[in-house]
């Protein structure tokens, strides 16, 4: 049953009253809209409040399923670069009439904003690895003794998450390649650089130049790499609005990172106090992204063409690392799905690779449902409404700055406490809290993306792990 007690228009009116601006003069209607959307999204991110079932059909020709494409209502990103620019304009007390050029004060230029936005989006993708893409590209050996040792990757590549060798003729055959380094190559097989074989066994990015992957041993015939990567995104908001591609509830991170850069530059725009606050808020979203739950439960229903009813079967999600540690060449087995494989928060597969169109249901933590008009009923309990307004008020006072803004820190704390309280209630109701809250992120913990070090530079002492 849906909530029907408060419309979005009523919520905006309550926020305007809290701000002593009932005529919506200093905070106009469109700005209040943006502030409340960010508050709702942040609440959803902190609590996983909105959960929903998504159902889709498998495809025998697909190995990796990008969840936003198969569950668009629940997970497809919608926030664009122009949306972030508008939010930044309001936060900086600049005109928000257009987002394709700069009509504001001389404190900032359009290039300042677009560069900061572009840089922060790609930094966020690098910091979190929140979106992973599947692709296949050909590996053509050089006609030289020893075969081809390494090959360049597309310049959009930020990080390599998984690699498999695909040998096509006479039938497609996949071989999982393990991530290693040259020292381990040489310790296990000193002759590896000069004795090509197919399939290879491992890959490394430690020794070769950036954007280059090296195989061990070098391959002796042509083939392809089935590869999972984190990739950068190119934006040009002056020409075309571009969807950021990260989960909608995480997009405030890009706003805060952009503001941190804009307010941290030299000149008349410099505001170190607020720049540091924005950077701290960006880093908080980075941490939240590393805890973002997506898939809670998976269920195999039936073949789409079946005429008889088959009881639904629950599937316990496993990570790609767990599967490949026990069944390294699982992609060569085809049949009805027995396991659902979480390769990234946005990317899943099935073991075995499916041989037919099957109906799959996923219980997911969905993106926050956004109001479509002022008459839209806010889908949240009455007990949560006041804390949403608390946080929106804190966001609204950012552009005022000074003591008025700092005075709203209590409201921000109330928002956080209420979110934690909801999490505690949900945790008390779940017997498998770990699985529900972390299974979408375990792949990054098992195939570690970062190591904290005690010094700077390559090959420093390992001090700890951080996914």
* pLDDT reported for residue 427: 74
pLDDT level of residue 433 (50, 70, 90 thresholds) = low
Query: Which residue is associated with the tokens 């540690």?
Result: 325
pLDDT level of residue 170 (50, 70, 90 thresholds) = confident
* pLDDT reported for residue 253: 97
Asked if residue 74 lies in contact with residue 366, where contact means CB atoms within 8 angstroms, the answer is yes
* pLDDT reported for residue 466: 56
Distance CA 70, CA 391 (A): 33
| pLDDT tens for each residue of 226-242 | 999 999 999 999 999 99
Query: Is pLDDT larger for residue 196 or for residue 438?
Result: 196
* pLDDT reported for residue 32: 97
Please state the rounded mean pLDDT for residues 260-275: 93
Distance CA 331, CA 135 (A): 15
Please state the rounded mean pLDDT for residues 290-302: 84
| pLDDT tens for each residue of 131-157 | 999 999 888 765 444 456 788 899 999
Among residues 194, 156, 162, 197, which one has the least CA distance to residue 178? 162
Please state the rounded mean pLDDT for residues 321-330: 88
φ, ψ for residue 137 (rounded to 5)?
-135, 150
Q: Hey, what are 343's tokens?
A: 């390769």
Is pLDDT of 335 > 50? yes
Please state the rounded mean pLDDT for residues 354-382: 92
Q: Which conformational region is residue 67 in: left (phi greater than 0), alpha (psi within -120 to 50 degrees), or beta? A: alpha
* pLDDT reported for residue 319: 85
Question: Average pLDDT over the chain, rounded to whole?
Answer: 87
What percentage of residues in the chain have a pLDDT greater than 90? 56
Is pLDDT of 27 > 90? yes
* pLDDT reported for residue 143: 47
* pLDDT reported for residue 12: 96
Please state the rounded mean pLDDT for residues 158-175: 88
Distance CA 301, CA 298 (A): 10
Distance CA 352, CA 323 (A): 11
Is pLDDT of 322 > 90? no
Is pLDDT of 19 > 50? yes
Question: Sign of the CA dihedral 316, 320, 326, 330?
Answer: positive
Query: Is pLDDT larger for residue 221 or for residue 239?
Result: 239
* pLDDT reported for residue 280: 95
* pLDDT reported for residue 199: 86
| pLDDT tens for each residue of 82-140 | 999 999 999 999 999 899 999 889 899 999 999 999 999 999 999 999 999 999 988 87
Asked if residue 182 lies in contact with residue 206, where contact means CB atoms within 8 angstroms, the answer is yes
Query: Which residue is associated with the tokens 């970062």?
Result: 450
Q: Hey, what are 158's tokens?
A: 């930020």
Is pLDDT of 388 > 90? yes
What percentage of residues in the chain have a pLDDT greater than 70? 88
pLDDT level of residue 441 (50, 70, 90 thresholds) = low
Please state the rounded mean pLDDT for residues 207-212: 87
Among residues 156, 154, 166, 163, which one has the least CA distance to residue 131? 156
Among residues 285, 431, 245, 442, which one has the least CA distance to residue 348? 442
Asked if residue 64 lies in contact with residue 228, where contact means CB atoms within 8 angstroms, the answer is yes
Integer CA distances (angstroms), 431 to 364, 384, 418, 427, 435, in order: 18, 25, 22, 8, 9
């Amino acid at each position: 049953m849906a909530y029907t007690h408060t419309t979005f228009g009523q919520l905006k009116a309550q926020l305007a009253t809290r701000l002593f601006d009932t005529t919506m003069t200093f905070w106009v209607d469109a700005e209040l809209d943006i502030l409340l959307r960010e508050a709702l999204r942040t609440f959803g991110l902190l609590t996983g409040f909105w959960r929903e079932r998504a159902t889709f059909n498998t495809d025998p020709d697909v190995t990796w399923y990008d969840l936003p494409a198969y569950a668009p209502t629940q997970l497809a990103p919608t926030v664009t670069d122009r949306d972030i620019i508008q939010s930044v304009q309001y936060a900086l007390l600049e005109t928000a009439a257009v987002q394709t050029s700069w009509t504001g004060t001389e404190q900032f230029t359009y290039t300042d904003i677009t560069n900061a936005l572009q840089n922060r989006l790609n930094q966020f993708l690098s910091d979190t690895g929140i979106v992973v893409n599947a692709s296949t590209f050909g590996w053509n050996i050089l006609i030289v003794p020893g075969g081809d040792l390494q090959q360049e990757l597309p310049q959009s590549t930020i990080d390599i998450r998984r690699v498999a060798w695909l040998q096509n003729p006479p039938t497609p055959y996949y071989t999982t390649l393990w991530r290693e380094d040259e020292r381990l190559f040489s310790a296990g097989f000193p002759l590896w650089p000069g004795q090509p074989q197919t399939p290879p066994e491992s890959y490394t990015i430690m020794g070769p130049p950036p954007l280059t992957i090296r195989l061990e041993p070098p391959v002796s015939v042509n083939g392809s790499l089935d590869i999972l990567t984190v990739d950068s995104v190119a934006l040009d908001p002056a020409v075309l609005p571009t969807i950021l591609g990260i989960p909608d509830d995480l997009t405030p991170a890009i706003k805060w990172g952009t503001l941190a850069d804009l307010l941290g530059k030299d000149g008349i725009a410099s505001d170190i106090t607020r720049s540091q606050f924005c950077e701290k808020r960006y880093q908080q979203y980075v941490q939240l992204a590393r805890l973002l739950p997506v898939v809670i439960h998976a269920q195999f229903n039936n073949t789409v063409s079946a005429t008889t009813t088959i009881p639904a079967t629950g599937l316990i999600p496993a990570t790609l690392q767990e599967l490949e540690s026990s069944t390294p060449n699982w992609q060569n087995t085809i049949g009805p799905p027995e396991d659902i494989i979480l390769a990234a928060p946005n990317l899943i597969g099935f073991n075995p690779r499916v041989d037919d169109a099957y109906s799959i249901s996923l219980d997911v933590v969905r993106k926050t449902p956004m109001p479509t008009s002022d008459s839209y009923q806010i889908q949240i309990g009455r007990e949560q409404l006041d804390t949403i307004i608390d946080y929106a008020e804190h966001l609204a006072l950012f552009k005022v700055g000074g003591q008025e803004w700092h005075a709203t820190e209590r409201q921000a704390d109330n928002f956080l406490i209420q979110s934690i309280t909801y999490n505690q209630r949900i945790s008390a109701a779940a017997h498998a809290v770990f699985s529900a809250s972390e299974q979408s992120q375990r792949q990054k913990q098992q195939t570690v993306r970062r190591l904290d070090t005690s010094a700077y530079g390559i090959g420093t002492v390992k001090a700890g792990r951080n996914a």
